[in-house]
Structure 1
Amino acid sequence: MAYTFHELKEKTVADLREIAKGIEHEAVEGATQMNKDHLLKALCTALGIETHEHHQVVGIDKAAIKLKIRALQKQRDEILASQDRAALHGVLRQIHALKRTIRRAMV
């Protein structure tokens, strides 16, 4: 059976050890002595699973938002160089709001 990192992470140590019994790989040797963190990493190595999850942005145009963020960051740098701090707050809030938009769209 093919597993994902998330599925393995949700399993108990006993379940992970049962999975390791059926695998012949040097990474899982001594699995009965490993704690969950080490066993999880060893299983991922043996099964060829990446040890981190990739997130995808769904429902928005991430590239367009990142262009807006870069433009606002240039504007922020110009404001900081000119020592005119009155407009700085608004620009920082816009950057923050756009970054939050991207984070909310992640799956």
Structure 2
Amino acid sequence: MRSCIWMGSEEKRMAPGQSGPKIRLAGFTKFEKKKSKPYSYSRTAKLLERFKNRMSERKDAFGPQVERLTVLHATVKKIADVERAKKHAVEQTEEVELVE
């Protein structure tokens, strides 16, 4: 790894193994990985469908996997539909409460 020192708009590279001045930002000792949210059921269903379609093009190589993916996709899609219906029902009740 090369360490970089910034001098104005010009970047000076140091040879690997040389220790140069360390620039520290207040509060940051190392870069932290941003925590990603888990995918929603609908997003997972879309990704599974895309993956299933790609694998089904080469069904001779991925026969049993495509069948399992089809079942998994159907299950996740049903869960996504139920979640969407619940969310829609909650939004409907909130709108009714606002109207009253």
Question: RCO higher in 1 or 2 (8 Å CA, sep ≥ 6)?
Answer: 1
Higher helix share: 1
**TM-score strictly above 0.5:** no
TM (normalized to structure 1)? 0.31
Greater gyration radius = 2
TM-score of the aligned structures, taking structure 2 as reference length = 0.33
